[in-house]
Amino acid sequence: MRSIFNYKHLHYFWMVAHEGSIARASEKLHITPQTISGQLSQLESHIGSRLFDKAGRGLQLTETGRLVLRYADDIFELGQELNDVLRGAPSVGASEFIVGAASALPKTIVYKIIKPALNLPQDIALTSREGPMDAMLADLAVHKVDMVLSDTPINSAFSVKAYNHQLGESTLSCFAAPRLAKKYGRNFPESLNNAPMILPTGQYAVRQLLDGWFQQQDIHPVVCGQFDDSALMKSFGQAGMGVFFMSSTIEEEICKNFNVRVIGKIEEVKQKYYAISAERKVKHPAVAAICDSARSSLFGH
C-alpha cells in the first residue's frame, strides 16, 4: 500500500496550479522556485504521473493534474474552515461575505436576495461586486467571492468548478413612463408591435427569453437602446426612451422609485435566479440563509 500524501508537497502543487507558474507561486509562498520544483517532482514520483505540462512560459495541468486539483481544492478549503473555527474567527469580528452579481440583475432584486444574510446571529461584513458573468465566475474560481448571483446557470462552457443553486423564478412585467403607458397600455401585448423598447444586451438570459417571446407573439419592437446595466436601463425608461421589462417581484418598487407604470405582465416568460458557489452542498451560513429565504419567501408561492 502506498504511503500517505505529503501534504506540504500537495500544497505547493495547489499554489502552482492556481498561480499558473512556479515563479508566481514562489513569490506567494516566500520560498525559492528550485524548492517548489523539487517538491513537485517528489509528488509526481509518488503519484506515478506528471501533473503539469509546459505551455509557453507557464504550465498547464495534465488530466491527472486536473483530477488532483479538484481534490486539493476541497482539502484546503476544508482546512481553511477548520483553521477559522479553531481561531474562533466568528467571535472576534464580522465574517467577510463577498458577493458578485451579474450587471443585468436589478439592484432591488440583488438587495432582496442578499438581505437575509445580514439577519444572521453572527456579524457579516458584506462586500458586493458586479460585472460580466465571466469576470464574476473567474473571481469565484480563485475564492475572491463567496457567491455569484445570476439569471444564467453555469454550464460546461465555463471552465470553473462551481455549482448552481436555483433560488426561484419570476414572471416579467412591462413598464413605461406615463406618456408611453397611455399610448401602449391598451390591448397588451399586441400594442407592443412597433413600440419603442429598451432591452438588456444579448449576453443575458432574459434578453434571449424576450426575443423568443416576441417571435411567438409576432411582435416587432423598435429597439431604441440596449444596456448591460439594469439601473441605467430603468433611468432611460423613466425618461421615456421606451418601454422596458423587469421582474414582477419588484413591480411596486420600480413604479414608486422611477415614476413608471405597469402596462402588462408576461406570464409565459419566467426569469430564473441562481446563486452559484464553489460548494456542491452549501456550507457557508450566509449562502444557506440566502437560498432558504429566496425559495421560501422572495420567490416562494
Output the pLDDT for position 193.
Answer: 95
> Phi then psi for 46, rounded to 5 degrees?
-65, -40
Q: Is the pTM of this model over 0.95?
A: no
Q: Work out the pLDDT band at 158, boundaries 50, 70, 90.
A: low
CA distances from 177 to 76, 169, 180, 211 (A): 53, 26, 5, 22
Q: What is the CA radius of gyration of the chain?
A: 24
Question: For the chain, what percent of residues have pLDDT higher than 70?
Answer: 92
2 pLDDT above the threshold of 80: no
157 pLDDT above the threshold of 70: no
Cβ atoms of 163 and 279 within 8 Å: the answer is yes
Q: Work out the pLDDT band at 287, boundaries 50, 70, 90.
A: confident
pLDDT in tens, 116-138: 988 888 778 888 888 888 888 88
What number is the average pLDDT over the span 224-246? 93
Domain 7-86, CATH 1.10.10.10 — does that match?
A: yes
Output the pLDDT for position 1.
Answer: 38
Q: Could you check whether 7-86 and 92-168+273-298 share the same CATH topology? A: no
Output the pLDDT for position 253.
Answer: 92
CATH of domain 169-270: 3.40.190.10
Burial class (CB in 10 A: 0-12, 13-18, 19+), 91: exposed
CATH superfamily, region 92-168+273-298 = Periplasmic binding protein-like II (3.40.190.10)
- Per-domain residue ranges of the chain: 7-86, 92-168+273-298, 169-270
Burial class (CB in 10 A: 0-12, 13-18, 19+), 266: buried
pLDDT in tens, 71-106: 888 888 777 766 655 554 444 456 788 899 988 788
Q: Work out the pLDDT band at 149, boundaries 50, 70, 90.
A: very high
Single-letter amino acid, residue 297: S
